[in-house]
Amino acid sequence: MTGFDLIGKLFGSVRDRDGQAKALESLAQEAAAPSRGHVGVEPGRALEVALGTKLLDGWLANRHQILVPHTLNFQALSSDEGHLLLRIMAAAAQADGQVDLRESRQIQLALQRVGAGAAEAEWLDTALGELQNLAALLAEVQRMGLATHAYAAALLAINRRGPANQAFLTYMAARLGLAADVAGSLDRRYRS
């Protein structure tokens, strides 16, 4: 078995479901099988196993960066998705009871950063003037499958220094079912 065969087997196992890893199980069986006529492991085989293990460890360590698609781009969103994320941004800005000048400037810069235009900025100004129903917004986010996008949008709009805002982000991550490492990755990526 060459190194590429081993890598192909390992990455082919990603498609297995329900905790099954047939490729890894077969590798374990091959490793457990007694070698014929050799006292140790063949040097080539040891290299393949070491390389495969290293690749698998690296992939597992970075899987959330690979599996969580995260480039928030308003130009790639439908108008319904964009408006929902703008309402999430408004709710995040309102989390501490007020939208101060710093938050307002931060939101406008964030919108430019994620490809939103003047129409989205105007729509957000309107949403900031209205009280947002967070429960309904989060239910809609889950229905549309935009949990990580919504969390990223909230991060762009919120002043994370206040305890109320931190509690809002914690609640939002929990309500959307985001794992701590996914939320942490988004926090690092969308730090403002």
Residues of the chain with pLDDT under 50: 14, 16-18
The count of other CB atoms within 10 Å of the CB of residue 101 is: 7
List the domain boundaries for the chain: 3-67, 74-189
Contacts of 151 (CB under 8 A, 6+ apart): 169, 172, 173, 176, 178, 183, 186
Residue-level pLDDT at 7: 60
Residue-level pLDDT at 12: 56
Q: Is 177 left (phi over 0), alpha (psi -120 to 50) or beta?
A: left
Closest CA to 75 of 112, 115, 120: 115
pTM over 0.95: no
List, for residues 44-71, the tens digit of each pLDDT value.
788 888 888 888 877 776 665 555 556 7
In what helix (H) or strand (E) does residue 181 lie, and over which residues does it extend?
Answer: helix 180-189
Residue-level pLDDT at 115: 84
* CATH fold for domain 74-189: TerB-like (1.10.3680)
